[in-house]
Amino acid sequence: MRYLPKSPADRQAMLKAIGLRSVDDLFAPIPAEYRLSRELNIPRQMAESEIVDFFRQRSRENGDGYTSFLGAGAYFHYRPVIIDSLISRGEFLTAYTPYQAEISQGTLQSIFEFQTMICELTGMEVANASMYDGSTAAAEGVMMAVRLTGRRSVVVARSLHPEYREVLATYATHQGMPLTVAGFNDDGRVNLKEVEKAITPETACVLIQSPNFFGTIEDVAAIADIAHKHGAMLVVSIAEAVSLGIVEPPRQADVITMEAQSFGVPLGFGGPYCGVIATQEKYVRQMPGRLVGQTVDKQGKRGFVLTLATREQHIRREKATSNICTNQALVALMVNIFMTVYGKVGLKELAKQNLAKTAYAASQFAKHGKVLFGSTPRFNEFVVQTSEGPYAINGRLLGHKMVGGLPLKKFYPELGNAALWCCTELTTRSAIDTAAGLVAESERSVRSSKVEDVEEVTR
């Protein structure tokens, strides 16, 4: 086996040194009746070339070469080449959690910079070293508010990513955290009256997303006012990190939870991604996950360490703030490099291109289909309502090697034949025109078939 660095002679010499005759003696502690007396029933060893062939084949069966208008919590942005160059360095790729600070300063300083940039972008005072993803970060953010307020119930916006809502429901079930859902208005924003009505003296927090699942930017200040008036916290989830380049961050929030996948992390069929929690300094001791802090060594030289570990499971066990043990360090490093590459000016320009492409696309779609929530500011997603079902339209788009917007019937049946479309800086005008053209064709054919139906009846 090519990964194993021992010759048969080495193994013999080692067995002899230990005082054993055969390798089977090493497994004697396992009761014989449980020891496997056969080889595992899996395919034979494959050569590297065969492995590469296998995955190339799977890649061809996996949408390779399609242009996509999908977003909905996972975004296709350009990834600068140096991200993979740098994260492929073995010292980053094959290091463990930086418990031994003296020989982990590379990872530690990089996380410190990550925490700083997340603070700058979110307007919060502290950020952790990353969470599993945006959905679990949102659930952990809510649990943090529960600990901080000593209250247990949660008001959740229906315009929060539906799968984030499902994850929160799973986490909440056994922690005695009742969830109430607040709907959205015709403008695509959270219904403030419903929020106000749902809040009780037992409400720990209101959880919203902005830009929300429909791409619409929420009136965060108004929701914060309502929550705070009743002693509840506001937790804001951000699923599209690139929005922070041009959209004012939800500074009124008490906790911001985020999915940073947009910052240089491949779509990768849904993961691994990079969750983040950011908050105000006074809440840091209730924050889950790892934190890196600055300190000095014995000579007074600046260095970085994992800190505030007393919140964590390996010290606190069942009294920990969370059971979380790993973070997403390597993915956070991708995010860090992406933020460094674009920086203060580039992130803004990048976000502006997303805004422009989306504004153009929405205007093209609006000529034929109905673009919902059109009057409210949005970032890079929009909902298009069509006469024909979106699956049928998307089926035709597939013929042009294009993936249309996400049909919303499964999540929001009340929106009818609606789909969530997304444009990024990588979406071309010609792709937008082709897709809008197909939607137009669909509308025309539905209209003419309706006319025919009517004629048939009258005849």
Partner 1 sequence: MKHRTRKATRHVNQNEGLIFEKSSPGKAAWKLPPLDVPEVDSAALLGSAERKDLGNMPEVSEIEIIRHFTRMSTWNYAIDLGIYPLGSCTMKYNPRVNEAVARVEGIANGHPYQPEKISQGALQIIKTLSEQLIEITGMDAITLQPAAGAHGEMTGLLMVRAYHQSKGNARKKILIPDSAHGTNPATAAMVNYAVENLKSDLRGMVDIQALAAQMNEDVAALMLTNPNTLGVFEQDIHKIADILHAKGGLLYMDGANMNALVGKVRPGDFGVDVMHLNLHKTFSTPHGGGGPGSGPVAIKKALEPFLPTPVLTKKADGTLGFDYSRPQSVGRVRAFYGNFGMFVRALAYIQANGPDGLRQTTEDAVLNANYIRKGLEGTYDLPYSTPTMHEVVFSDKTQLKKGVRTMDIAKRLIDYGFHPYTTAFPLIVPGALMIEPTESESKEEMDLFIEAMKSIAGEVEEDPQTVLGAPHSTRVSRLDETAAARKPVLRWKPQD
Site for partner 1 in 361-400 (CB under 8 A): 377, 394, 398
* φ/ψ (deg, to 5) at 447: -65, -45
49/458 with CB nearer partner 1: 49
Span 288-317, contacts to partner 1 by CB under 8 A:
290-299, 301, 303-305, 307-310, 312-317
Instruction: Give min distance, CB of 121 to partner 1, in A.
Output: 7
Distance CA 425, CA 242 (A): 10
Instruction: Give min distance, CB of 447 to partner 1, in A.
Output: 26
Q: Is 60 in the site for partner 1 (CB under 8 A)?
A: yes
Q: Is 209 in the site for partner 1 (CB under 8 A)?
A: no
Span 428-447, contacts to partner 1 by CB under 8 A:
428-429, 432
Which of 152, 171, 181, 415 lies at the binding interface for partner 1 (CB under 8 A)?
A: 171
Distance CA 71, CA 146 (A): 31
Residue pair 172/154 in contact by the 8 Å Cβ criterion = yes
Instruction: Give min distance, CB of 416 to partner 1, in A.
Output: 19
195/347 with CB nearer partner 1: 347
Distance CA 445, CA 453 (A): 12
16/450 with CB nearer partner 1: 16
Region for residue 326 given its phi and psi (left: phi exceeds 0; alpha: psi -120 to 50; beta: otherwise) = beta
13/451 with CB nearer partner 1: 13
Residue pair 356/380 in contact by the 8 Å Cβ criterion = no
Tokens linked to 373:
């929530």
Q: Is 54 in the site for partner 1 (CB under 8 A)?
A: yes
Which of 89, 229, 282, 447 lies at the binding interface for partner 1 (CB under 8 A)?
A: 89
32 DSSP assignment = G
Which of 4, 399, 455, 458 lies at the binding interface for partner 1 (CB under 8 A)?
A: 4
Least Cα distance to 419 among 430, 435, 399 occurs for 435
Span 334-363, contacts to partner 1 by CB under 8 A:
337, 339-350, 352-353, 355-357, 359-360
Distance CA 80, CA 458 (A): 62
Distance CA 98, CA 114 (A): 15
Interface characters, 270-289, with partner 1 (x: CB under 8 A) = xxx-----------x-----
Q: Is 26 in the site for partner 1 (CB under 8 A)?
A: yes
Span 119-148, contacts to partner 1 by CB under 8 A:
119-121, 125-127, 129-130, 132-136
Pick the piece of the chain touching partner 1 (CB under 8 A) from 34-42, 226-234, 436-444, 446-454.
Answer: 34-42
Distance CA 34, CA 316 (A): 36
Tokens linked to 62:
């996996």
Pick the piece of the chain touching partner 1 (CB under 8 A) from 96-104, 145-153, 201-209, 380-388.
Answer: 96-104
Tokens linked to 126:
């502290």
Distance CA 292, CA 109 (A): 8
Instruction: Give min distance, CB of 31 to partner 1, in A.
Output: 7
Q: Hey, which residues does 233 pair with through a beta bridge?
A: 205
Region for residue 309 given its phi and psi (left: phi exceeds 0; alpha: psi -120 to 50; beta: otherwise) = alpha
Q: Is 72 in the site for partner 1 (CB under 8 A)?
A: yes
Q: Is 74 in the site for partner 1 (CB under 8 A)?
A: yes
